[in-house]
Amino acid sequence: MGIELKKITKRVGAETYIYETDLSVEKGGFNILLGTTLSGKTTLMRLMAGLDRPSSGEIWFDGNNVTGVPVQKRSVAMVYQQFINYPNFTVFNNIASPLRVSGISPSEIKQRVEQMAELVKLTPMLQRFPSELSGGQQQRAALARALIKDAGLVLLDEPLANLDYKLREEFRDELPKLFADTGATVVYATSEPLEALMLGGKTATLHEGRVTQYGPTAESYRQPNSLLSAGVFSDPPINTAAIDKKGDVFYLTEAVNWPVPPPYARLPDARYVIGVRPHHLLVGGTTENAVKVNGIVQIAEISGSQSIIHVDVEGNSWVSESRGVHPYRVGDVVELGVNVERCFYFDINGERLLA
Amino acid sequence: MNDRTANPRAWWFVLPVLVLVAFNALIPLMTVVNYSVQETFGDNVFFWEGLKWFEQVLNSDRFHESFLRQLAFTGMILAIEVPLGIAVALSMPRKGPWVSVCLVLMALPLLIPWNVVGAMWNIFALPDIGLLGRMINGMGIDYNFTQQPVAAWLTTVLMDVWHWTSLVVLLAYAGLCSIPDAYYQAAKIDGASAWAVFRYIQLPKMKRVLTIAILLRFMDSFMIYTEPFVLTGGGPGNTTTFLSIDLVKIALGQFDLGPAAAMSLIYFLVVLLVCWIFYTLTMRNESQ
């Protein structure tokens, strides 16, 4: 069952935050909302939580229509980008606060809080105040508060965005495990494709108030259904260019062309769009099937053993992500290999031409 | 390694501040100290008196009375302005076009000079021609702040509340605005009542600015001079003669420079002491 959004929209004034959306999230799963800032992740979460009412459409939770039900009457817990704890409660009382409302005996509260603290590794911190904790510990306390509530729906709104790199890695490992046993439906918003891939579960890609694709995370990444989904789920952004099919050949320009791969052989001759992930655009052109293109270097960044080179390829701004250190200067001409077998092909409206 | 941390030329950078502080604080203060331990009859003739003036001031009923009056006044001001300021700040809109309207309205009283405020309220409250005074008398209540001590006190307190609550409002409002929206959402999800939101989120989050607000209001009201001077002149009788009004009466009215200087120093030390206690207590709270 889980949570179902049925034809919901959200408008505020003249602006549309969420266009008509259907999304059915299964019970107990770990789900990711992936999209850039302003793509509608938070709006969608607020609708799921019941903090806002949709402008139209219905929201169902575990088989009940909860559209007009206010948030405090639903079984919802939420964790935010900011570390939200009660400032003048100790960690113990912070974690205990959802239980106190429900009138559980003090001895049981103590036992459950201690158990929860153990789980999120806060046992030595229980008597401290939130301001005496590190950012990671504050977020752990907030997580514990969400977990202990035993809510049917847990919403995590970019919970790791304010943490440093090391802590984020630690949390990414832990989070799915923490929630796996609770049976709660988890919805996790992030703007980082890499984070989505590491968390697993299912991913819904969002673009400007529309859910463009929803499915198992790895599959969504490998098989984007449209240019928009591929764009959301690619960092650095996916490279695109218009190509023309004439007979058995795709032409980027007259000089740069390659035979149409077998799955696309039956397509009518027309204009299409090719999508090349940055790590399929390699310096030097390594594999046999690679089509060689020349790029004029715009920016070259070297991060450790990776080279990220922004190039102008036949008038398109492309990014290449290659292994190894390739120092280039602005204006250099570099030969790149496009792995045309692993590219995505879209029609001119951005719909994936499924192989 | 040779630590070359001392560079005599650095003194040149400190010098302007030293000069400024000297002329601004140290030299005037030392002048007062000078007067407080001597007797003078003009013509720059001074006689050493030691701590005589201090003893005289500390033992005088007059000083005790104005000191108690001052404490009562400051106590009332804090008891009214701080809760009222918080209440007004809570009811102000958090966004939208009304925010700037409210802020400007709130800032207006703060922009009016002290003596103008005093004069305004004097005329406003006059029982025969003032709007407020006539209205109250028109309702059948005998009200005359120039003759009735209670009326004089009420008018003075009301004037100060009108003039300075805005400061508390603005500070409290700034504190409220700095609370991320997520806190309110979290509270809503927890099913917290409006009181719980205030008690457990807004109040703790406003603690710092409220500390500043209380400290500022304490100091300002404890040193208040111009407004009551213009409004009541310290009267009727001595009933609204607060410390600084009394001080000016002694110094300039009676020209008793020695006792006045001693009183100034005691006054100064009291303000300093209260601020220090306040600061220490809040800092201790902060570190807990």
pLDDT for A308-340, tens place per residue?
Answer: 899 998 888 999 888 888 888 888 888 888 888
What is the nearest CA distance from B183 to chain A, expressed in angstroms? 6
Average pLDDT for residues B90-119, to the nearest whole number? 91
Residue A25's closest CA among A53, A50, A55, A45? A45
pLDDT band at B286, cuts 50/70/90?
low
Q: Is residue B282 part of a domain?
A: yes
Q: Closest residue of A to B287, CA-based?
A: A132
A79 and A152 together in one domain: yes
User: Closest partner residue to A87 among B190, B204, B288, by Cβ?
Assistant: B204
Instruction: Give per-residue pLDDT as tens, B213-248.
Output: 999 999 999 988 888 888 888 878 888 888 888 888
- Mean confidence (pLDDT) of chain B: 87
Query: Out of B185, B190, B191, whose CB is closest to A51?
Result: B185
* A16 and A134 belong to one structural domain: yes
Interatomic CA distance for residues B136 and B154, integer angstroms = 13
CATH number, residue A340: 2.40.50.140
Same domain, A224 and A151: yes
Residue B3 in domain? no
Span of A47-51, B6-10, B129-133 with lowest mean pLDDT: B6-10
Cβ-Cβ contacts under 8 Å, A77 against chain B: 189
pLDDT at A75: 85
Q: Residue A353: inside a domain, yes or no? A: no
The structure tokens listed for B8 are 């005599």
Query: B1 lies in a domain?
Result: no
Residues A128 and A45 grouped into a single domain: yes
Q: Which of A232, A266, A292 is the last residue of a domain?
A: A232
Note the pLDDT of residue A286. 60
> Would you call A72 and B182 a contact, using CB atoms and an 8 Å cutoff?
no
A208 and A81 within one domain: yes
Using the predicted structure, report yes or no on whether residue A28 has a pLDDT greater than 90: no
Contact B189 A88 (CB under 8 A): no
Task: Output the pLDDT for position B162.
Answer: 94
Averaged pLDDT score across all residues of chain A = 87
- Pick the residue from chain A with its C-alpha nearest to B198: A86
Average pLDDT over residues B178-204: 87
The pLDDT of residue A300: 87
Top-confidence residue, A286 or A354:
A354
Residue B5 belongs to a domain: no
Q: Do B189 and A78 touch (CB under 8 A)?
A: yes
Residue B157 has what pLDDT? Answer: 94
Residue A352 lies in a domain: no
| Among the ranges given (A241-250, A342-351, B45-54, B87-96), the one the predictor scored with the smallest mean pLDDT | B45-54
User: What pLDDT sits at residue A87?
Assistant: 87
Domains: count for chain A: 2
Distance CA A149, CA A75 (A): 8
**In the block, which residue shows the tokens 């590491």?**
A198
**In terms of domains, do A246 and A202 share one?**
no
- Maximum separation of any 2 CA atoms in chain A, in Å: 78
Q: Identify the bridge partners of residue A245 per DSSP, sorted by sequence position.
A: A250
* Contact (Cβ atoms closer than 8 angstroms) between residue A206 and residue A41: yes
Q: Residue B105 has which token pair?
A: 């309205």
Quick check: is A355 in a domain? Answer: no
CATH at residue A82: 3.40.50.300
Interface of A with B (CB under 8 A): 46, 49, 51, 71-72, 76-78, 80-82, 84, 86-89, 97-98, 101, 129
pLDDT band at B288 (very low <50, low <70, confident <90, very high): low
pLDDT at A236 over 80: yes
Distance of alpha carbon A33 from alpha carbon A25, whole angstroms: 11
Is residue B153's pLDDT more than 60?
yes
Q: pLDDT category, B287, cuts 50, 70, 90? A: low
Average pLDDT of the residues in A62-82:
87
Give residue B89's pLDDT. 94
Rounded Cα gap, residues A5 and A20, in angstroms: 10
Q: Does A267 score more than 90 pLDDT?
A: no
> d(Cα A97, Cα B190) in Å, to the nearest integer?
8
Assess if residue B241 is contained within a domain.
yes
Same domain, A30 and A167: yes
Last residue of a domain, one of A202, A232, A262: A232
pLDDT at residue A250 tops 70: yes
Residue A101 clears pLDDT 80, i.e. is over it: no
Percent of chain A surpassing pLDDT 70: 98
Range of the domain at B45: 10-287
Give a yes or no: residue A166 inside a domain.
Answer: yes
Question: What is the count of structural domains for chain B?
Answer: 1
Q: Which pLDDT score, from 0 to 100, does residue B170 have?
A: 94
Query: β-strands A185-190, A30-34: how paired?
Result: parallel
Please give the interface size between A and B, counted as residue pairs whose CB atoms are below 8 Å apart: 42
Task: Name the band, by pLDDT with cuts 50, 70 and 90, for residue A287.
Answer: low
Beta-carbon contacts of residue B136 (< 8 Å; ≥ 6 apart): B127, B143
Measure A146 CA to nearest chain B CA, in Å: 10
Q: Is the ipTM of this complex over 0.85?
A: no
Interface contact B201-A86, CB threshold 8 A: yes
Asked if residue B4 belongs to a domain, the reply is no
> Quick check: is B39 in a domain?
yes
Are A65 and A72 contacting, i.e. CB atoms less than 8 angstroms apart? Answer: no
Tell whether B169 is covered by a domain.
yes
Subunit contact A84:B186, Cβ cutoff 8 A: yes
- Do residue A164 and residue A206 come from a single domain? yes
Spacing of C-alpha B163 from chain mean position = 11
Residues A201 and A115 in one domain: yes
The stretch B254-268 carries a mean pLDDT of 86
Q: Which residues of B touch A101 (CB under 8 A)?
A: 190-191
Point out the residue among B189, B204, B205 whose CB comes nearest to the CB of A71. Answer: B189
State the DSSP code for A278.
Answer: G
Q: Are residues A261 and A305 in the same domain?
A: yes
**Would A244 be classed as within a structural domain?**
yes
Q: Contact A244/A73 with Cβ under 8 angstroms?
A: no
Give dist(CA B116, CA A249) in Å, integer. Answer: 88
User: Considering only A167-171, B72-76, B211-215, which range has the smallest mean pLDDT?
Assistant: A167-171
CA-to-CA separations, A219 to A25, A307, B70, in angstroms, rounded = 16, 27, 76
Does A351 reside within a domain? no
Q: In terms of C-beta density within 10 A (0-12 exposed, 13-18 middle, 19 or more buried), how is residue B277 classed?
A: exposed
Select from A187, A209, A232 the last residue of a domain: A232
Domain that holds residue A75: 3-232
Check residue B10 and give its pLDDT. 84
Question: How far apart (Å, rounded) are the C-alpha atoms in residues A355 and B13?
Answer: 75
The DSSP code sequence of B99-161 is HHHHHHHHHHHHHS-HHHHHHHHHHHH-TTT-HHHHHHHHTT----TTT-HHHHHHHHHHHHH
Any residues with CB less than 8 A from the CB of B59 and at least 6 apart, and which? none
Considering only alpha carbons, which residue of chain B is nearest residue A90? B288
Band (pLDDT 50/70/90 cuts) for residue B82 is very high
Which of A46, A78, A86 comes nearest B200 by C-beta? Answer: A86
Q: What is the CATH number of the domain that holds B181?
A: 1.10.3720.10
| Mean pLDDT, rounded, for B249-275 | 87
Same domain, A328 and A271: yes
Q: Residues in chain B whose beta carbon is closer than 8 A to a beta carbon of chain A? A: 180, 182-183, 185-186, 188-191, 200-201, 204-205, 288
Residues A195 and A98 in one domain: yes
d(Cα A140, Cα A122) in Å, to the nearest integer? 7
